[in-house]
A and B are shown apart, each in its own frame.
Chain A
Amino acid sequence: MNARVGVYVCECGNNISDQVDIAALVPMLEGAPGVVKVMSHRLLCSKEGQEFLAEEVRKEGLTHLVVAACSPRQHLPTFMEVCKRGGLNPYLMQMANIREQCAWVTSDRHEATEKAARMIRAAIARVVRQAPLPEREVEANPDVIIIGGGLSGTVTASMLAGPERRVHVVDRNPTLAVALTSLEGVETHGGCEVEAVRGFFGNFEVELASKGSRQEVRVGAMVVCTGSRATTLQEMGYPGSEAPHVVVLPQDLEGLRPYLDALPSGQPKVMFVHCAGRERVGYCSGVCCLRSFKAMRWMVETAPNAQLSCLHQDICVPGRDGEREYQGILGIGARMTWGRLTALAQQGPQVTVSFRREDGSIGQDAADLVILVPATVPNHGARALIDIIGVEAGPAGFVEEAHPMLEPVSTSVKGIYVAGSASGPRDGRATSLLSLAAAAQIAAELRPGKTLRLEAQTSQVCEALCTGCRNCMTVCTYGAIEYDLVAQTCRVNETICRGCGNCVAACPSEAISVKGATYQQILQEIKEAVR
């Protein structure tokens, strides 16, 4: 072997040396294949330790480095930097965690030393089989395409458009809001739909189609702002909902006027029914209770004679002002009844509302006008669009976030973001904030003029072994694997691959492996550890 492996054991002050007999350990490692130098050091992560190590790499002409110290979680980046400073590819270094995984958990000193020796020999066996991995960069297109020209699309566009970044906004509606079309640096595509998406983060090709014409737009990132809609009477499925005095609460309250004008004189009864459609959709839409309360307040002013009542389930009013609003509504004298709507029936001028109480009993009430507060569902065509662009839909049909808490505006496809109510029911404030968040994320990750740093430890396919079964493609959540129709094998897109290794587990032929964690590397490490 032409390898020149240097093995450096850190004493970590007394942390490791207390339990591991360093003096006995060093000679146990000297004979290992490829090893040209073994030394111990008091504290390798210190500034002095790092300088020493970098100098050793240079001085001894080391081809591989093993650092036996603490957890890679703590200092892997540190020692990778040391390699770079010493002129060694950082992927030719292996750490053996003889602190957390040995000294700190083994009570017998002899056992601890023996274990440390095994771990380090295993690291040596592995490191000599590692290959240098280059750090690569790729050019990226800073332009962005936003699908949907509503509130979230407009806010996102306004935050991103600038002299160095072109923003495209696509909407299937031919007429777009002035707030959007008047933005500088924003190119709108009204009356268009997304037909296909190719490429990857930094280099997407999006095909747009409108009546008769096609257009291709090249961008670096995409934002899904397709919004949501109210569930319809038909979808809700309540018997009797076609009754003339039953209406779904519209977005614009002025839409209720014709119904108010038709109310009888005197003290007509107006009932707001919450959670309409909730059983069918299976979730609480979170924003409707407050919407309903706002509507009730409007009603108090617009139709002061009306007797308001409210059939509701659990009232959901999180947020700073929610409880205050709720208490306020209780103060206006509306009759609040807990119940699940089961059926409606127009009986003469009034509508009979049947509902089930929490104890299971059935109740009935009557009103002159019934306003159903509808559940929020994904917008028309959302499903089809999700399939076209390749992001994931959650069980409710909304776009699924990459991580429900930490990545609220990213999707499983790197470079495709989601904002507004496309990812779930939202109120105006939340829509705005999500749009700002998506814009901020893109502004940070796709900077005009900057190249993208790629993950070094990506998967690779051995064409000779690949049978084209495409198992790997099926399990790759990032869409980083393509099927090459000519070679009839799979190929990894190194720009989007994140090196998670799902593909390696799914390949029956062992034709795909992650660089820096190949079968041979791991096998030899294990063999040495248990020898």
Chain B
Amino acid sequence: MTRNGDILIIGAGIGGIQASHLLSKAGHQVHLVEKTAHIGGTSIKFEDVFPNLECATCMLSPLEQELLQDPNVHLLTLTEVAGLEGGPGDFTVRLRQRARYVNLENCIGCGACYDACPVSTINEFEEGLSQRKAICIPCAGTLPNVPRIDKEVCIRFKGQECVACQQACMFEAVEYGQEDRDIELKVGAVLVAVGSGTMDVRELPHLSYGVHPGVFTSLELERLNASNGPTEGKIQLRDGRAPNRVALVHCVGRRERTLCSGVCCRYLLKFRHYLRHKLPCAEVLEFHGDLCLPNKGDQRFLGEMAPDGEGLVRAEVVRIEVEGDYLKVIHRRDGREAIETVDMVVLSPALTPPKGATELARTLGVELADDGFFVVNGVASSRPGILILGGASGPKDIRETVVEALAAAGGACKAVMEGEDGK
């Protein structure tokens, strides 16, 4: 049996990207499959990352650029895995790639087509905080800098005769005739790097998310703060007002899911930094339980973000009530209930298994645990030759994801060579 050295990586977030780099360096051909039209995963939504508050784009985009130019990495966007057969060293994988309707070679990313498109819809990347066109990239700076046509909202695909984008394009890059296609590949190992999801906070109606314009999730705050985001970096309420008093709520969904997501304490502290810069006059109250600061530099980070514990309130948020423009945060400390009135609340929803995990697990023939995350032993899944890295097997920060990406890349090489995966 010939051992195939090609590796399939599912998911082009930071984990998939780092694994691709390492495997390419090791001389393997990588097929990097990504469900959306762009790479970068969740991390590209952040402006800064903890604990050193480095600019996320500065950190990630050189890696992304290198990846796009790497001849050893075959990137397949808008692609999902349809089926998998075989074993380590000899897998056959069937992929389904959806049509982008834009030619990747010809398009230079000038954006003329977005302006021309008459259809506006909600921008999911921006957490619904802004609109996008039917032909678009999610936000400025996402890579590859080539748009796609969203068939679901494009009026042409609903029968109307509209060629606005094609007419606006000077490079003949818009191709309505493209079709979804099936691709079959032979690979030696598979890496699953599809990340985690976040819980829908509407499951917790007592927190008034969706009821009041002042309640936000953490990802929404990240997008508000992002300089390439829907408000170009201004942190403001949905009606445009600047908040005076902001409540940051830890551990949302922790009890319900029996899961400490591990990253929220640190990113909420990071939000202090955002708020301090963007809204220097706003008062920030952080309602927390046990502070999870597991790394050697985190104590110092706490000291810098909340000097002398300012703004920290050890209390469990019981519910959030709406009072006109304001929000009442009812919390329990030392057995008694107290109320703080604020105009903005940021919730930290628990991390969940990735969307579509059940489907993917079934397609790949690997097990999911009771909690819905992929079963792992180290980075090895329940099926030889398939490794799981990053958020797919439990909540992780960027560092842990990269460690697992490197370990899984190594494991993939071993699986290919020996027909057994590294444990």
Q: Are A283 and B378 in contact (CB under 8 A)?
A: no
Contact of A159 among B171, B262, B293, B410 (CB under 8 A): B410
Nearest-Cβ distance from residue B269 to partner chain A, whole angstroms: 13
Q: Is A440 in contact with B22, judged by CB distance below 8 angstroms?
A: yes
Q: Which residues of B contact A398 (CB under 8 A)?
A: 296
B258 at the interface (CB under 8 A from A): yes
B293 in contact with A315 (CB, 8 Å): no
- Chain A, interface size category, equals 35 or more
A524 on the B face (CB < 8 A): no
Within the assembled complex, what's the spacing in Å between the Cα atoms of A13 and B261?
48
List chain B residues, Cβ under 8 A from A78.
69
Set of chain A residues within 8 Å of B262, measured between Cβ atoms? 318-319, 322
Taking CB atoms, residues of chain A closer than 8 Å to B300 are 282-283, 395
Q: Is B27 an interface residue (CB 8 A)?
A: yes
Is residue A135 within 8 Å, beta carbon to beta carbon, of the partner chain?
Answer: no
Residues of B within 8 Å of A286, CB to CB, are 293-295
Is B97 close to A, CB under 8 A? no
What is the bound-complex CA distance between A77 and B112, given in angstroms? 26
- Pairwise interchain contact A444-B409, C-beta atoms closer than 8 A: yes
Beta-carbon contact of B59 and A282 below 8 Å: no
Interface string of B324-337 (1 = CB under 8 A from A): 00000000000000
Of B27, B49, B295, B398, the most chain A CB neighbours within 10 A belong to B295
The answer to the question of B178 belonging to the interface, with a C-beta cut-off of 8 Å to chain A, is no
Contacts of B260 in A (CB 8 A): 317-319, 322-323, 326
Q: Which chain B residue shows the least CB distance to A15?
A: B110
A447 touches B (CB below 8 Å): yes
Interface residues on B, range: 35 or more
Question: Interface readout for B267-301 with A: 1 if CB under 8 Å, 0 if not?
Answer: 00000000000000000000000111111111110
B31-39, B205-213, B399-407 - interface stretch = B399-407
- List of B residues within 8 angstroms of A440 by Cβ: 22, 26, 406-407, 409-411, 413
In contact, A408 and B402 (Cβ under 8 angstroms): yes
Contact A434 B296 (CB under 8 A): no
Hey, what's the 0/1 contact readout for A347-383 against B, CB within 8 Å counting as 1?
0000000000010000000000000000000000000
A407 CA / B22 CA spacing, docked (Å): 11
Contact status B292-A318, CB under 8 Å: yes
Q: Which of A379-413 contact B (CB under 8 A)?
A: 394-396, 398, 404-409
> Is A466 engaged at the interface, CB distance under 8 Å to the other chain?
no
The contact of A405 among B26, B293, B373, B399, by CB within 8 Å, is B399
Chain A to chain B contacts (Cβ below 8 Å), 17 pairs:
A14-B110, A46-B106, A159-B414, A287-B294, A318-B260, A318-B263, A320-B259, A358-B314, A404-B52, A405-B59, A406-B398, A409-B406, A432-B378, A433-B379, A433-B403, A436-B410, A444-B26
| Interface of B toward A, CB cutoff 8 Å | 18, 22-23, 25-27, 49, 51-52, 54, 59, 63, 65, 69, 105-106, 108, 110, 112, 170-171, 254, 258-263, 290-300, 314, 371, 373, 378-379, 393-395, 397-400, 402-404, 406-407, 409-411, 413-414, 422
Q: A425-B296, A433-B404 are in contact. List 17 more A-B contacts (CB 8 A).
A: A12-B108, A14-B110, A74-B65, A159-B410, A159-B414, A286-B294, A323-B259, A323-B260, A396-B297, A430-B403, A437-B406, A439-B410, A440-B22, A440-B406, A440-B413, A443-B26, A445-B25
- On A, residues with C-beta under 8 Å from B are 12-15, 43, 45-47, 73-74, 77-78, 159, 282-284, 286-287, 314-320, 322-324, 326-327, 358, 394-396, 398, 404-409, 424-425, 429-430, 432-434, 436-441, 443-445, 447
